[in-house]
């Protein structure tokens, strides 16, 4: 029994040393997200090719004091494995606080500037508890269950918790087409219960000033989505004040009834 405890302690200690060494190595490449990802062994580069897009969209946030939330820690049930992308964000954003949620206990992986909460991304009481502890976020990244229903419900709850000027990212959107286990659809690409069906419908929100609908009432998304960027298997949604007026339509009506 004592030997097993020693082995377990040794294993945990060894992991902490490995994670710390990676942090030191990543310090040598402060502006290269892909290199940092490789050092920290996250699949966001190599297995996926997300980091070049992150490099483009996140560079203006690098030296700000951001509140960042990533949904999903990684490592599945193993309490000592995962957090690779959290440490990547810690390396890239030297003044930011990194938060994460996961359905498994990942408290072992916490360290300075990294805080992990245990709970589901679709448990709204839990999410409410988290956001009360952390405050609103500058960046939110959904790398959680990838189940279509979960992705949509989480966005609907958390997008209002994103600060103006912030970015909401959804990864692994290929599940939008995978019906089994994920609830996707490869037949009806406009199915609004899928990730892409839902987010494609929000493109219209950015252009709500052009709608010809009498007494149209703007939605939250109409007012706050200012741009969307679609890439292979990921989406970036920018939040701000969507108040650019139409050059012709007034109050969702055509002047003099003519276009």
**CA 107/CA 123 separation, integer angstroms:** 19
**CA 201/CA 218 separation, integer angstroms:** 14
Catalytic residues: 146
The pLDDT of residue 5: 52
Q: How many CA atoms lie within 13 A of 60 on its CB side?
A: 7
What's the pTM? 0.94
List the beta strands (DSSP E) in 161-206: 162-171
Where do the structural domains in the chain lie, given as residue ranges?
2-257
Q: What digits encode the pLDDT tens for the residues 162-200?
A: 999 999 999 999 999 999 999 999 999 999 999 999 999
Put residue 106 in one of left, alpha, beta given phi > 0 → left and psi -120 to 50 → alpha. alpha
> Which residues sit opposite 68 in a β-bridge?
98, 139
Q: What digits encode the pLDDT tens for the residues 44-53?
A: 999 999 999 9
> What is the distance, to the nearest Å, from the Cα of residue 247 to the centroid of all Cα atoms in its chain?
34
Q: How many CA atoms lie within 13 A of 184 on its CB side?
A: 16
Would you say residue 4 has pLDDT above 70? Answer: no
Helix/strand/coil percentages in the chain, nearest 5: 40, 20, 40
Report the 10 Å Cβ neighbour count for 55.
17
Question: Tell me: domain 2-257, CATH 3.40.50.150, correct?
Answer: yes
Best CA proximity match to 150, nearest among 168, 130, 176 = 176
Put residue 168 in one of left, alpha, beta given phi > 0 → left and psi -120 to 50 → alpha. beta
Residue that the structure tokens 């600060």 belong to: 163
> Which residues sit opposite 171 in a β-bridge?
234
**CA 101/CA 116 separation, integer angstroms:** 6
DSSP-assigned letter for residue 246: P
Give the Å distances, CA to CA, from 125 to 21, 43, 128, 241: 37, 30, 5, 28
Q: What digits encode the pLDDT tens for the residues 123-164?
A: 999 999 999 999 999 999 999 999 999 999 999 999 999 999
Would you say residue 9 has pLDDT above 90? Answer: no
**CA 31/CA 51 separation, integer angstroms:** 12
Give the Å distances, CA to CA, from 116 to 111, 125, 171, 179: 9, 16, 19, 30
Give me the count of residues in the chain: 259
Q: What digits encode the pLDDT tens for the residues 100-127?
A: 999 999 999 999 999 999 999 999 999 9
């Amino acid at each position: 029994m004592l030997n097993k405890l020693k082995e377990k302690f040794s294993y945990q200690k060894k992991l902490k040393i490995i994670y710390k060494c990676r942090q030191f190595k990543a310090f040598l490449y402060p502006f290269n997200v892909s290199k940092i990802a490789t050092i920290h062994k996250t699949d966001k580069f190599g297995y996926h090719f997300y980091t070049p897009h992150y490099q483009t969209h996140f560079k203006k946030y690098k030296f700000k004091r951001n509140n960042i939330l990533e949904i999903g820690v990684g490592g599945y049930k193993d309490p000592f494995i995962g957090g690779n992308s959290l440490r990547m964000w810690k390396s890239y954003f030297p003044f930011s606080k990194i938060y994460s949620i996961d359905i498994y206990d990942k408290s072992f992986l916490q360290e300075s500037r990294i805080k992990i909460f245990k709970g589901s991304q679709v448990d709204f009481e839990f999410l409410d508890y988290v956001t009360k502890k952390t405050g609103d976020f500058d960046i939110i990244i959904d790398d959680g269950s990838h189940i279509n229903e979960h992705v949509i419900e989480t966005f609907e709850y958390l997008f209002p918790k994103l600060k103006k000027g912030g970015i909401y990212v959804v990864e692994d959107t290929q599940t939008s087409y995978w019906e089994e286990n994920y609830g996707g659809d490869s037949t009806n690409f406009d199915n609004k219960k899928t990730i892409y069906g839902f987010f494609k419908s929000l493109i219209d929100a950015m252009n709500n000033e052009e709608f010809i609908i009498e007494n149209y009432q703007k939605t939250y998304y109409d007012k706050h989505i200012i741009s969307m960027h679609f890439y292979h298997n990921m989406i970036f949604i920018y939040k701000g004040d969507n108040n650019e007026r139409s050059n012709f339509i007034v109050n969702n009506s055509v002047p003099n009834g003519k276009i």
